[in-house]
Structure 1
Amino acid sequence: MPCPDFSVQKGSHVRPLQQPPPDQALRLPFDFPLPSVSSDLHKQGVTLGLDHSLVGMTGGQIVVEMLLRHNVKHIFSIPGGSITPILDTLYDCPEIDVILPRHEQGAGHMAEGYARSSGKPGIVLVTSGPGATNMITPLQDALCDGIPLVMICGQIPTTMIGTDSLQDTDVVGITKPCTKWNYSIRDVAEIPRRINEAFEIAMSGRAGPVLIELPKDIGNDVLRQPVSTQMMIPKMKKMALQNAGCIRHAPNPSSYNPTSQKQQLIMEAIQRSANLINGAKNPIICAGYGMLSKPEGPALLRELSEKAQIPVTTTLQGLGSFDEHDEKSLHMLGIYGTGYANTAIQEADCVIVLGARLDDRVTVDVARFAPAARRAASQGTGGIIHFELQPKNINKVVKVTEGVEGDVSDNLKLMLPLIKNVSSRCDWMGRIKELKKNFPIDHFDRAPPSGLLNPQTVVEELSKLTEPLKDKVVITTGAGNHQMWVAQHYRWRYPRTMVTPGASGTMGYGLPSAIGVKLAQPEKIVIDIDGDANFQMTLMELKTAALYNIGVKIIIMNNDEQGMVTQWQSLFFEDRFMLAHHGNPDFVKVAEGMGIKAIRISKPDQLEDGLREMLNYDGPVLLDVITDSKTMVYPMVPPGNALHEFMVYDEESEKKRRALMKQRTGY
């Protein structure tokens, strides 16, 4: 049976985007940052009056028209009664491909992958009640990781809201904590400007999810008179002044012009930061997702590292911002970071944090994070410098010596001319080489007693095979041990080549996000490396890939357990395994039943051929890799330890651990 075309039925119209600048009041969360004016029309200073072209359209037609004006190409939607006015309009709209996932959570993660790959908001359209509540996890994930989503959900007719009617749900109330902004439309005339506001808010400042609720009767209403499409987002000067509090010595807000004086404060902080960097002997850069927020970010990071000869480590979300083949790369730091990165950041006298929140996954024991830098700060010879878009994140977890608020790339451009050229740092780089020799990341059990494949080896081999493809490969993952092995053993060289859940730790993310990435960038090779437990949370989306012939490639690390849970239960709970073994289905049969080609391998001598067959297949394909169970992720920082107090693989200790585990459990 041939796969259907992405496109739906033909026949619609497109009009130019009308989006004047914000100048009036709109309800927003109290900590929403000062909006950036991002659209081309804003930059041109265009101010438009009433829009007559929408008169005579229904609410559903206006929604689609506004999406077209925002150049939307894909929508991820599961149908339902309350959104039929919009769906009926999409029936005649060939400009937008509507993708039908199997579940709203899958739709949300597809939109996340699409947004992270395209740089544009991912669009989700769902129905009322459970259709909306099934989106809570993707909304929270997007909020935590700064991913722009525009979610449009239906609602029962306005006359029935609050009557306990079928699917009567307070969606706005439920989603308020997991969106940047949400709004329930109660008049068809509101639709144009509210959609404009939704796109602006989703992309402004730190990106994130927004929600518009459209009751069914409003979707059916007809617009009878011309309306303004002008957004009504306030300038929020008072908020900008409050946010400036993260910069030292802010003057009285009533006595100065906020824009010029705030920029002066930021520039002073940049100058002090440059002075600390120039005076440091053992500096280190910690790069986060903020370095990927603009295309020029990685180049600026490389320039700073080269100019001052500073080694670079990255957070999980910062992987790809710095070429890991560079000798100054320390790879990832944190609980499952490399031993050399964790030790180096503890020994550095100046820690330069670029676009990272410094959460517990990075710092571990906050009180003992970066002790050498703190000592240097007390002596005026170093410290911790934090470049961060969101002022609220500066000094939130780690007390810093200097905080620089604003877009990280923009502020790096201002600082680079102030940084002195350094030809070499012999002592510091010598120490880095020593640490890499002492704690090699490729030291693990390469011949497990089961005779099965080792997960780390699978990732290493995939990295080697895809190296010639350069930035043409994008990897997605779920959350868990497989995610850490991918982060540790794949060599990250190019920006935006890893799409993975961060602060929310969302399982089931890998497959649907890969589908979204592939739709946004069909020329890329998109590989979901997934754990078996993760995969089962959204495996129904295999059918979505098959239905639209979306050529994602899926590798399942199949060890029949939830590995991160069993690791902790083994190390800290005397191998008392509880709810961590799943009894997996036959993934090959599942995939084939959904119309997906599937391959299974289990032995080391099958690995290269299996990976090559998967990579060369033109279409969606699944590779079921039977891997050794109870394999640990090392290095690992145990609870209560400082960042440099990590566990590493030791052959004798591992033999004793496995023997004790077998004695206790039979595994």
Structure 2
Amino acid sequence: MSSDIATAVPRPPARSASAPVMTGAEAVVRSLDLLGVSDVFGLPGGAIMPVYDPLMDDEAVRHILVRHEQGAGHAAEGYASASGKVGVAIATSGPGATNLVTAIADAYMDSVPLLCITGQVFSSLMGTDAFQEADIVGITMPITKHSFLVKRAEDIPGAIAAAYEIASTGRPGPVLVDITKDAQQAEAPFIWPPQIDLPGYRPVTKAHGKQIQAAAQLIAEAEKPVLYVGGGIIRSRASEQLLALAEATGAPVVTTLMARGAFPDSHEQNLGMPGMHGTVPAVLALQESDLIVALGARFDDRVTGKASQFAPHAKVIHVDIDPAEISKIRAADVPIVGDLREVLVDLEAAFRANTDTGRADITQWWAYLKGLRSEFPLGYAPTSDGLLAPQHVIQRIGELTGPEAIYAAGVGQHQMWAAQFIKYERPNAWLNSGGAGTMGYAVPAAMGAKVAEPERVVWAIDGDGCFQMTNQELATCVLNNIPIKVAIINNSSLGMVRQWQTLFFNGRHSNTDLNTGHGTARVPDFVKLAEAYGCLALRVEKEDEIDDAIRTALETNDRPVVIDFVVSADAMVWPMVPQGVGNSEIQYAREHAPSFDQED
């Protein structure tokens, strides 16, 4: 839903004599109760203080007091991404609200259902540059599905209910409800359920039958098809339907960074992750294909490389619930707007019907792809400086913990290694900031995920740069009994930037050394820092210590655990497609790849 729709809230129905009268602040809390919200993350301040008074007495909603509003936003994201529910974050006006902006932008890019409630100055003071005033509706307009500005107490239930509806339906995303302080303090009848009228907001879930038939025919005719799976599969909870379609077609499957776990890594048809740091089989399968079936994917530049050179011989079937994504970057031969849970069922049935009279032979295609998989397995080189190989550390975390855990990553090299070297067998096991690339995401997102799924092991796999942006939320974890595990992949640098400097700036490492990992002058000392927060803290510098440290973390559930893994700064993420070139130029792979010739 476009954010430029008017920010007026739905009007309440006619007043009922039996409706209880309550303050706007009480209406906020009561609305959350009735929507089934059980957990919120927030930080109080002057303009939202009225809401915090009834929140204190509410037994249905657990409020978790964060140490920074950005942490509240990312925690709400982690909560939503792990559970599929709407995450809720609360902040005050001005800087409290603007501290949420990064998390809101992050949720918008990655289609995370988020309800953000902010306080606003008195309506009579708006526009006067009052203390802690900020036009948060205007600021977030480009990065929300919709924003509401509420100035009347009677409008609050309708705004909260409508925001929840918008956030959780269609293509999920963040919605902001900004409430003036006088609206929170005023009294009005509380009427539930409110009448929600959202002109123009009608998400299409059922696809057009003719488009389904056209897509099924293209799949049946394709000799080199690929199922290009994006995060929309996870958001629509369509993993089972994807598995059924994949097995019916026999086509190879590639899962983007946002879709890791949507299709089991152990499945024979899974070629891995495509894109800038994807596997060679996944990257070249897309590049050499004659049909791409894009499912909840948006042809992001990190997947396509130079778009004009991407999959030059492929026709495209593009399925997405958001019509704005279809043909935005790559023109679709068959566009399908609809919910993937429904579309995939219809598409599988239509494909089976089409193949009653035969289908193209894809055995030669699979022979080529299996050759790539055999020749270019994912791997890494030993380090040359005696320090730990970060890939090995992350791989062992995944192997010792298992697929039922949740893994939240920060942004950078460790994010790519976590996507590459941990095996994902189920949706919602992998959380990361894919579109925005937000450093500092991992710790608060892991915290939110653990609140949503308390019985699962939750790892935050973080870099030493990312960790220093939001590690204050360890205090939140300790005080609220949220025992996450944190693995700091400490290469004492901003690793991904350093890698690019090594490759493209003649090794000139300008301002990427963080001085966190080597020798005695660690600034900060992560072990001492974690212990100061009340965590169990360990440091690992030798390979034979890795497994024992991970096992200790897995056995400790009375507090968070932080492990400082001191790894080599020279380790790089491979394979790699440099920015601005086509995927055929994948480095350290393409020159060795066997060619695919349909005539052979």
Regarding TM over 0.5, the answer is: yes
Q: Deviations over 1:375-423 (max 9, x none)?
A: xxxxxxxx21111111111111112221111112211111111224679
**1:139, 1:415 → 2: CA distance?**
34
State how far apart, in whole Å, the 2-side matches of 1:544 and 1:161 are. Answer: 33
**Cα distance per residue 1:306-364 (max 9 Å; x no partner):** 11211101110011011111121101000010011111111221111111001101101
Residue 454 of structure 1: aligned partner: 389
Q: Distance between the aligned counterparts of 2:102 and 2:80, measured in 1?
A: 16
Instruction: Tell me which residue corresponds to 1:604.
Output: 543
Which of 631, 635, 643 pairs up with 2:583? 643
Q: Distance in 2 between matches of 1:227 and 1:492?
A: 42
Greater CA drift, 559-568 or 456-465: 456-465
Name the structure 1 match of 2:465.
533
> Corresponding residue for 1:278?
220
Q: How big is the shift at 1:644?
A: 2.5
1:573 offset after TM fit, Å?
Answer: 0.5
Q: 2:439 aligns with which of 504, 507, 518?
A: 507
2:553 counterpart (595, 614, 623): 614
What is the CA-CA distance between 1:56 and the residue it aligns to? 2.6
Aligned to 2:568: 628
Post-superposition offset of 1:575: 1.1
Partner of 2:521: none
Q: Is the Cα–Cα contact under 8 Å of residues 475 and 533 in structure 2 kept in the other structure?
A: yes
Q: Which residue of 2 aligns with 1:365?
A: 306
What CA deviation, in whole Å up to 9, does each residue of 1:512-536 have, x standing for no partner? 0000000001011100111110111
Give, in angstroms, the shift of residue 50 of structure 1.
4.3
CA distance in 1, matches of 2:537, 2:577: 37
> Residues 235 and 180 (structure 1 numbering): CA distance in 2 closer, same or farther, change over 3 Å?
closer
Length-normalised TM-score, structure 1: 0.82
In 1, are the aligned partners of 2:226 and 2:293 still within 8 Å (CA)? yes
Contact 1:313 1:341 in 2 (8 A): yes
Q: In 2, distance between residues paired with 1:575 and 1:53?
A: 73
2:595 corresponds to: none
* Inter-CA distance 486–233: structure 2 relative to 1 (3 Å threshold): same
Aligned positions, number = 572
Q: Do the aligned residues in 2 keep the contact of 1:278 with 1:419 (CA within 8 Å)? A: yes
Which residue of 113, 116, 125 maps to 2:78?
113
Residues in 2 aligned to 1:226 and 1:96: alpha-carbon distance in whole angstroms: 20
Cα distance, 1:235 vs. partner?
5.0
In 2, the alpha carbon distance for the partners of 1:108 and 1:116 equals: 12
CA 1:234/1:548 → structure 2, altered by over 3 Å: closer, same or farther?
Answer: same
**Residues 46-104 of structure 1 deviation map (CA, whole Å, 9 limit, x = unaligned):** x9864556533111111111110001111111011111211110111121111011100
Whether 1:438 aligns to 2:370 is no
TM-score for the superposition, normalised by structure 2:
0.91
Distance 1:555 1:51, change over 3 A: farther
3-state SS of paired residue (2:259): coil
Matched residue, 2:451? 519
Is residue 54–residue 62 contact of structure 1 (8 Å, CA) maintained in 2?
Answer: no
| Residue-by-residue CA offset, 1:553-598 (whole Å, 9 max, x unaligned) | 0000001001110011110001111121122211110000000101
Give the match's secondary structure for 1:623.
Answer: strand
State the one-letter code of the partner of 2:155.
Answer: E
Q: Which residue of 2 aligns with 1:377?
A: none
The aligned amino acid for 1:509 is Y
Q: Any residues of structure 2 matched to 1:179-198 within 5 Å, and which?
A: 179-198=144-163
| Structure 1: gaps of 5 or more residues | 1-26, 33-46, 244-258, 374-382, 651-667
The residue number in structure 2 matching 1:292 is 234
Q: Which amino acid aligns with 2:276?
A: I
Instruction: Please tell me whether the aligned partners of residues 3 and 142 of structure 2 are also in contact (alpha carbons under 8 angstroms).
Output: no
Q: Which residue of 2 aligns with 1:337?
A: 278
How far the C-alpha of 1:624 sits from its partner, in A, is 0.7
Which residue pairs with 1:215 in the alignment?
A: 180
Change (3 A) 1:396 1:31: farther
The answer to whether the 8 Å contact 1:182/1:212 transfers is yes
Say whether the 8 Å CA contact 1:193–1:231 is kept in structure 2: yes
Secondary structure of 2:258 counterpart: coil
Stretch moving more, 481-490 or 228-237: 228-237
Identical amino acids, percent of aligned pairs: 39
Cα distance in 1 between the residues matched to 2:3 and 2:13: 27
State whether residues 321 and 494 of structure 1, in contact with CA within 8 Å, keep that contact through their aligned partners in structure 2: yes
- Equivalent residue number for residue 21 of structure 1: none
Structure 1 residues 158, 515: closer, same or farther in 2, change over 3 A?
A: same
Query: Deviation at 1:30?
Result: 5.4
SS in 2 for 1:223: strand
Partner of 2:243: 302
Query: Secondary structure of the residue that 2:188 maps to in structure 1?
Result: coil
- Stretches of structure 2 that go unaligned for 5 or more consecutive residues are 7-11, 517-523, 591-600
CA contact (8 A) 2:120 2:181 kept: yes
Q: Closer, same or farther in 2 for the Cα pair 1:621/1:228, shift >3 Å?
A: closer
Decide whether the 8 Å contact of 1:474 with 1:527 is kept in 2.
yes
